Amino acid sequence: MSQVKRTILIGLLATATATGGCAVAGFWASVFAPPKTIQAKYELEPEGKVLVLVDDLGKPTGYEKIKRLLTEKVNLLLLDNGAADKVVSYEDIFRLAASRPDFNRMGISNVAKKLGANQIIYVHLDEFSLKDDSNISLWHGKLGVLVRVVDASGKTQWPADRPSGHKPGTSETPEIDNTSATYGATVAAQLADDMALKIARLFYKHTLPR
């Protein structure tokens, strides 16, 4: 910010405080507040390969693409932010699943071993919908997940106090009326973008605006 702009803003702040009271002063104070630093909930091992395994076992979504979207986006965020050194690609997961009719019965640790991963971020799709009512054209996406970290032996490393996993806030899209049957792909991508960020940020330090 230039010195001229800073001087103008300070002058406006002083004037607003004098004329508008504490509420206005509080608003301007928030403008200048530094971002808030959020520590990682859990730090992944610095070496090795991480498998992000998105699963809807027991609660099938009927929309397989959401698994690919979430996996790819979480992988990218982990790598870009230094939370993981290597990750298993969705293509490798898909090839293994396609080659093993018993894939859903293999167990998390066996899947990880087949794919060369020593640490797993297991993401269970707890809630997923693109519409509140499939018979109308109003789209309203919702996505909720449970996240836990599992080692190669199948033991849950995090969170120790919640065996079912950590539940980030639910991702939700605004209600949009659109008659196109393909608009669901847009809604799914928006949900995946938002949820992937919530999941990945569990594993690296980041900042949020105050």
Whether residue 22 is predicted with pLDDT greater than 80 in this model: the reply is: no
Asked whether residue 117 carries a pLDDT value surpassing 70, the answer given is yes
Cα–chain center distance at 78: 11
Reported as a single tens digit per residue, the pLDDT across 158-199 is 999 998 999 999 999 999 999 999 999 999 999 999 999 999
Tracing tokens 């099938």 back to the chain, one arrives at 60
- Assess whether pLDDT exceeds 70 at residue 74: yes
Give the contacts of 154 (CB within 8 A, at least 6 positions apart).
107, 108, 109
Contact 128/170 with Cβ under 8 angstroms? Answer: no
Q: Please say if the pLDDT value at position 4 is more than 60.
A: no
What average pLDDT is seen over the chain? 89
- Let me know if domain 49-208 sits in CATH 3.40.50.720: no
Res 93: pLDDT = 98
Provide the whole-model pTM.
0.83
Closest of 124, 201, 120, 105 to residue 164, by C-alpha? 124
Report pLDDT for 156: 94
Indicate the SS3 state at residue 32. helix
State the residue for tokens 């979480």. 74
- Phi, psi angles (nearest 5°) of residue 70: -65, -45
Instruction: Give the model confidence (pLDDT) of 88-109 as tens digits.
Output: 999 999 999 999 999 999 999 9
